[in-house]
Structure formats: C-alpha cells, structure tokens
Amino acid sequence: MRIPIRQLRGAKDLLEDVVTATVNASESLQQKIVRQPYALLQRIDAIAAPVRKIESVQTAITQGIYATIRLVTRGSAGLASRLLDLAEQNARRRK
C-alpha cells in the first residue's frame, strides 16, 4: 500500500504542530508549577536574594531545553520535508 506524498506531508505537518503545541503547553505548565516554591521561599528575607538567583538559573536552563526541543522539532520537520521532496522527484522521474 502506497501512501500519497500529499498525505505524508499532511501527517508530517500535523505531527510537527502537535509536538510544538505539546512542548509549549508543557513549558507553560512547568513554569507555573516551579514558580510556586520559589515564590514561597522568596518571602523569607534571609534567603530571598539567593532564591531569586537560583530561580533565574533554573528558568534559563529550562527555557534552553525547551528551545532546543523546538529547534530539533523544526529541524526534523525540515529534513522530513526535504526527504519527501526527493521522494516526489524520484516518483516523477519514474513516470
């Protein structure tokens, strides 16, 4: 059974959209969850400054990880598009 290239492209686009939306939702939820203990700890004057620094570092690392996941997703989708282009060109040559 052969699946038309058009359907494969649609599936690739859908998968990319689903992964991106899931990553975005996960990042947002994680930020909300992680923020709670930091907010509580920052109420303690003696440790508020170090807690802010730790939160800042943790936030930067987490944002970097999510950005990397999005970058890999876009790169994978681009590669898949290129492979589908090549498959389509190959199919035209055979006709």
Place of tokens 């859908």: 14
Residues 87/5, Cβ–Cβ less than 8 Å: yes
- Positions in the chain whose pLDDT score sits under 70: none
The span from the CA of 56 to the CA of 45, in Å, is: 17
Q: What is the pLDDT of residue 2?
A: 84
Give residue 1's pLDDT: 73
- CA dist., res. 71 & res. 73, Å (int): 5
